[in-house]
Amino acid sequence: MKRIARLNVNGEIHEVAVNLQETLLNTLRDQLDLKGAKRGCDSGGCGCCTVMVDGRARYSCMTYALSVEGKEIKTVEGLNEGGTTLSRLQEAFVKKGAVQCGYCTCGIIMAAQNLLETNPNPTDEEIRKGISGNLCRCTGYTKIVEAIQDVATGVT
């Protein structure tokens, strides 16, 4: 069974017909064509699908689309203004070499955004904890942690 959901994604209102049990991840990817949130495990284990809802990171694969009507949903596509400018986190990820295959990247950037919005001066441990809900198989997290550190300390 479907219902029309009214979703505020990156400041734009979308009215979409969703299955009652549809996850926000599916709606974003398959209906709104926002591919930044990735399907990695569909069970809240990898973090590739991380988005922000009302300013807090969560797994969009564990979120019903219908449960976040009326809330502010932000995906990685909403971080950079326009097509070519990057947010500071995005820029730092590029400059530090924190992106390899890139499949986990958008989710980790959203987790990092959550971290820096709640704790602007995190320690190394706090950064690692802040992205502990996200898995990466390419980077060993080394350059990811450095990139987040750079943003926190104002290097980027």
Partner 1 sequence: MSFADLSDFQQPRDLQDALLILDKYGDDTLIVAGGTFVHGLNARGFLDEVEVVLDISELPLKNISHSKGNLSIGSTATYNDLLNSRPVQSMAAFGALKDALGYPPPQIVNVATIGGCLAASCPLFDLPTAISALGGTLTSESSARKKTYSLDKFFTGLFESSLGTGELITAIEIPGNDKSTSGFSKLETNANDLAIINAAVSLTFKSGLLNRKRKCITARVFLGGGVGDTVMRSPSVEAILSDGEPITDDKIENAVAAAKIDVTAQGDHRASAKYRQKMIEVYLKKAIARAMARLET
Partner 2 sequence: MVEQVLDTQVVGARVDNVDARDKVTGGRGFPMNITMPGMLHGKLLRSPYAHAKIKSIDTNAAAALPGVKCILTPEDVPTRVYSPVYFVPTLAVGSVQDTLLLDTTIRSVGQVVASVCATSLEIAEKALDLIEVEYEELTAVFTFDDAMADSAIQLHENKLGNIAKNVIHATGDIDAGFEDADHIFEKTYTTQRVHTCYMEGRVCVVSADTNGDFTVHASMQHLFGLREKLAYILDVAESKIRVVKPPYIGGGFGGKLEVTAMEPLAAIMSQRTGRPVRIAHTRREDFITTCRAPFRMHMKTGIKKDGTITARSLKSFLDCGGNATHGAKVIEVHGLFGFMFTYNCPNRHWEGTTVYTNNMVSGGYRGYGAPQAAFAVEQQMDEMAEALGIDPVELRLRNLHQEGEQHPFFPSKFTTYRVDECLKRGAKAISWKDRKPAGSQIGGKSSKVRGLGLATTTTWTSCCAGQPDLYEHSGAIVKMNPDGSADIGSAAIDIGCGQNTTFCQIVAEELGLPLEKVRMTYADTSTVPFDAPMHASRGTYAAGGAIKLAATSARQVLFRYAAAMLEADVDDLDIRDGNVFVRNSKDRLVSVQEITALADSPIVKMTDKGPVPDGPQFRGTIIGTSSLAPDFSPIVGGAMYAEVEVDTDTGHVAVEKIVYAHDIGKVINPMGAEGQVEGGVQQGIGYALTENLLFDPENGACLTTDFLDYKMLTAVEMPKIIESIFVESIEESGPFGAKSLSECAVIAPAAAIANAVYNATGARITSLPITPEKVLEALGKL
The rounded distance, in Å, linking the Cα atoms of 140 and 118 is 24
Amino acid found at 43 = S
Q: Which is nearer to partner 1, 22 or 146 (CB)?
A: 22
The rounded distance, in Å, linking the Cα atoms of 35 and 140 is 24
Number of residues in contact with partner 1 under rule CB under 8 A: 32
Of 39-47, 81-89, 90-98, 144-152, the window that binds partner 1 (rule: CB under 8 A) is 39-47
Q: Which residues contact 140 (CB under 8 A, 6 or more apart)?
A: none
102 binds, among partner 1, partner 2, none (CB under 5 to 8 A by kind): partner 2
With CB under 8 A as the contact rule, the residue among 53, 62, 72, 95 that binds partner 2 is 95
Quick one: tokens of 78?
A: 């909403």
The rounded distance, in Å, linking the Cα atoms of 31 and 54 is 21
Rule CB under 8 A: say whether 132 interacts with partner 2: yes
Rule CB under 8 A: say whether 20 interacts with partner 2: no
148 and 155 Cβ atoms separated by less than 8 Å: no
Rule CB under 8 A: say whether 62 interacts with partner 1: yes
89 and 113 Cβ atoms separated by less than 8 Å: yes
Of 1-9, 10-18, 52-60, 83-91, the window that binds partner 2 (rule: CB under 8 A) is 83-91
Where does this chain bind partner 1 (CB under 8 A)?
1, 3, 19-21, 42-45, 47, 50, 56-59, 61-64, 66-67, 69, 111, 114-115, 128-130, 132-135
